[in-house]
Amino acid sequence: MRNQLNVLFIFALMFFVFTCGKDDDEITSTPPRDRAEQQASDMDTLQNYFQTHYYNSGALNTLTTYPTLNDIVITKLEEGETLPPNTTLLSDAVEAKTTTYKDVNYTYYILSIEEGLGDHPHFTDQVRVNYEGNTMDDEVFDNSVNPVDLELIIAVPGWNRVLPQFKTASSFTTNNNGTITFENYGIGVMFLPSGLGYFSNSTTGISAYSCLVFKFELYQYQVMDHDNDFIPSYMEDEDNNMDVFDDNTDGDRFYNFDDSDDDGDGYKTFREVLYTEYTDSSRSGLEAQLQALAPLNSNQFFTPIEDKDDGTFSAKLITLEDTNGNGIPNYLDSTDAATIN
């Protein structure tokens, strides 16, 4: 039931948080603007926003409870108004970050409230979050009421760059009423130029080429292996550019993250790697088993721990073989002898 609800939430939210497709000109009838020119203009918009908005830094620093989205208050500094006490102008608080997307150099900004004490998700993972999206006019255009699961692989590009810089909750507690309280989660605000948001697409509450502000709380993540080939999707970004929609080793219709035979040699990827499965009746027991195997070689990794239907836990130790020693693992090398398991 929970999964069904999550699916419903995701479909409801995809309209807002997710890009509609990889081609920016799919929806608009006029050609999209030049990305680099738009970025230059968006930088002015964001800088102006930071110089005319402040946040309640003092109140956040003296909270007696862990901060939540609602505790972060960003307010416009009216013309002639002096900065109220115990607040900080965003231009003195936000951190600039850079990335490349569609061959354009982008700068975006983060206000980190708490990094979190759990783990960093990968840019292709599914994350459980609460969030609130705001326009440059400080209008809320979208927000989650309850925690939702979002797939970063199809989120706007700003999300899969920002969320991996934060950490998930360190633990959670199930309350008597069935709700869950997460402890020590990552919480912050991202300020995105339109090129890392919806760019030329417009939707309810957001016009095309809008810069966006998202507050978020990051609770949990799940490593995704979209094609179930034992290679997690974040490892199927061959050129390490945080974009899995441009990696296609065999040049067929499927990108590597969605291709169960990556090198197109007729042998499924999972058959071209070596694997050993470990199981245990408890998660901690399995974790202890896996820890005892460390340190791993550079061509080895564990798949995420699976919670099996029979109540046991399992994970696989994957070894990427390179039989002909040319530096390309067998599953990406159609000329290499396959490890057929």
Q: How far is the CB of 161 from Ca ion (least distance, A)?
A: 13
Q: How far is the CB of 264 from Ca ion (least distance, A)?
A: 6
Residue 191 φ/ψ, nearest 5 degrees: -120, 110
Q: How far is the CB of 162 from Ca ion (least distance, A)?
A: 18
Half-sphere CA count of 177, side-chain side, radius 13 A: 2
- Cβ-proximal residue to Ca ion, closest one: 259
How many Cβ atoms from other residues are within 10 Å of residue 137's Cβ?
10
Sequential DSSP letters for 113-124: EE--SS-PPPTT
Q: How far is the CB of 181 from Ca ion (least distance, A)?
A: 37
Choice between 132 and 243, CB closer to Ca ion: 243
Token digits for 137?
């006019």
Half-sphere CA count of 108, side-chain side, radius 13 A: 28
The set of residues, in sequence order, having a beta carbon less than 8 Å from that of 62 and lying 6+ positions away, is none
CB-based burial, 146-171: b 16+ in 10 Å, e otherwise: ebbbbbbbbbbbbbbbbbbbbbbbee
Choice between 104 and 290, CB closer to Ca ion: 104
Choice between 135 and 241, CB closer to Ca ion: 241
> 69, 91, 212: which is closest to 147 by C-alpha?
69
- In the chain, DSSP finds a helix count (H) and a strand count (E) of 5, 16
Measured in whole angstroms, how far is the alpha carbon of residue 123 from the centre of its chain?
4
Q: How far is the CB of 238 from Ca ion (least distance, A)?
A: 6
Choice between 114 and 250, CB closer to Ca ion: 250
Choice between 23 and 239, CB closer to Ca ion: 239
The set of residues, in sequence order, having a beta carbon less than 8 Å from that of 60 and lying 6+ positions away, is 67, 71, 72, 113
Choice between 115 and 258, CB closer to Ca ion: 258
Q: How far is the CB of 118 from Ca ion (least distance, A)?
A: 26
Choice between 292 and 340, CB closer to Ca ion: 340
Choice between 142 and 263, CB closer to Ca ion: 263
> 317, 305, 301: which is closest to 280 by C-alpha?
305
Choice between 142 and 227, CB closer to Ca ion: 227
Q: How far is the CB of 338 from Ca ion (least distance, A)?
A: 7
Rounded distance between C-alpha atoms, residue 283 and residue 267, angstroms: 33
Rounded distance between C-alpha atoms, residue 171 and residue 226, angstroms: 26
Q: How far is the CB of 258 from Ca ion (least distance, A)?
A: 7
Rounded distance between C-alpha atoms, residue 191 and residue 95, angstroms: 10
Q: How far is the CB of 282 from Ca ion (least distance, A)?
A: 31
**Cβ contact 152:124 at 8 Å:** yes
Q: Which residues bind Ca ion (CB under 5 A)?
A: 227, 229, 237, 239, 241, 243, 246-248, 250, 252, 254, 256, 259, 261-263, 265, 267
